[in-house]
Amino acid sequence: MVAEPPAPGTYRAIDASIDDFVIAGDGGLVVHAGVGSDIELDTVHYESGVIDLGGATIRGLGSRVYRPMLAVGDGGRAWRSEDVGETWTTVSVGTSADLHAVGFSNFDAPGVDAAVIVGDGVLLHSADQGLTWTSRPLPVEGARLRDVQHVLGVGWFAVGLDGVILFADNDGLQWTAEASPTDRDLLRVHESFDAGASVLVVAREGELLLRDGDRWTAVSLDIEGELADADAWTLAMRDGRIARREFGTEANAYVPTDVDEPLPPLERIVKDSDPLDRDRTLLLAQDGRLILLAHTKQRRFCR
């Protein structure tokens, strides 16, 4: 199943809140989408059109359910929404650096109002759900950070180019560099729901990093090409290819999977409300299409 965006463009970020999705990218494009059912996840569609945020390239979106939503992009620009992306206000974050990602702390964590923005040589912290921001010292000078995530019960993780991995406790204030098993560019960091690993990091080319306790392990993949995103069950390749891993198999046992039709270049795997669901995958393509894939018992995706 595919939902076509209401406006052409390059889409780089997506954020989910209950059944709603907000998608953004080049030219300040922000559009709304939804799924038909939180349980069945059987339909996906765009619900409204483009909201113009002044033509900036938006690279990151972040929120928590019942929390404000934040958008960040090039030139240190940031916006905040209280109504799941319907309206936006500009937020001053005190930098002109390109910003790539924003994350909120989990509900049950200390410092529950904390939010973190990362970008090129910058790491910003908010203690009031994104209203005001302060710069935090980088333990790796000039680190070009690409993603940030708070993992419940563990802490904050930020990753970036040249294998950089940073860690902070739940309040997100004091950051340290972790020993990274790779010097490859790291693009995404996710909470992992696979046994034995609490955090999963996606490298640009053929590698995943898993954190078990305080130790990172690099997992080499037997799939050539540039990764766009991954979770414990699915690899999304930049060129539109998909690979799947069965529950209980080795961490690198992703198998290329056929689809009914070739997929466009992919950007993100969408984290829906049930990360343990291994039977469905929702993808954001770079052209803004939302693609819902169902994994059948015959190991084939259907749309």
Over the stretch 123-134, which tens digit does the pLDDT of each residue have? 999 999 899 999
Report the distance separating Cα 112 and Cα 265, nearest Å.
36
| Domain residue spans of the chain | 2-302
**Rg (Cα) of the chain, in Å, rounded?**
18
Helix (H) or strand (E) holding 302: strand 301-302
What DSSP line would sit under 241-293, residue for residue? -EEE--TTS-TT--EEE--SSPPPPEEEE---S-TT--SEEEEEETTS-EEEE
Question: Quick one: average pLDDT of 192-218?
Answer: 85
Over the stretch 109-122, which tens digit does the pLDDT of each residue have? 666 789 999 999 99
Residue 171 confidence (pLDDT) above 70: yes
CA-wise closest residue to 102 among 70, 137, 74, 133:
70
pTM for this entry: 0.91
Give the C-alpha distances (Å, rounded to integers) separating 236 from 66, 81, 214, 215, 295. 29, 29, 27, 25, 14
CA-wise closest residue to 64 among 193, 124, 157, 152:
152
Structure tokens at 42: 């059987």
CA-wise closest residue to 286 among 303, 265, 259:
265
**Band of residue 142 on the pLDDT scale cut at 50, 70, 90:** very high
Over the stretch 247-302, which tens digit does the pLDDT of each residue have? 667 777 788 887 777 899 999 998 654 544 566 788 899 999 988 887 654 333 32
Over the stretch 21-45, which tens digit does the pLDDT of each residue have? 889 999 888 888 876 544 344 567 7
Largest CA distance in the chain: 52
| Tokens 């004091």 found at | 174
The arrangement of secondary structure in 2-302, i.e. its CATH architecture, is 7 Propeller (2.130)
Question: Quick one: average pLDDT of 224-248?
Answer: 87
Phi and psi for 37 in degrees, rounded to 5?
-150, 135
Structure tokens at 101: 């990602």
Checking phi first, is residue 99 left (phi over 0); if not, alpha (psi -120 to 50) or beta?
A: beta
Residue 145 gets which letter from DSSP? E
What DSSP line would sit under 74-140, residue for residue? GGG-EEEESSTTSS-EEE--S--S-EEEEEE--TTSSSTT-EEEEEBTEEEEESSTTSS-EE---SS
Tell me the percentage of the chain whose pLDDT exceeds 70.
85
Give the C-alpha distances (Å, rounded to integers) separating 264 from 23, 58, 107, 167, 239. 17, 20, 35, 34, 7
Tell me the percentage of the chain whose pLDDT exceeds 90.
48
Structure tokens at 211: 């954190």
Question: Quick one: average pLDDT of 66-90?
Answer: 90
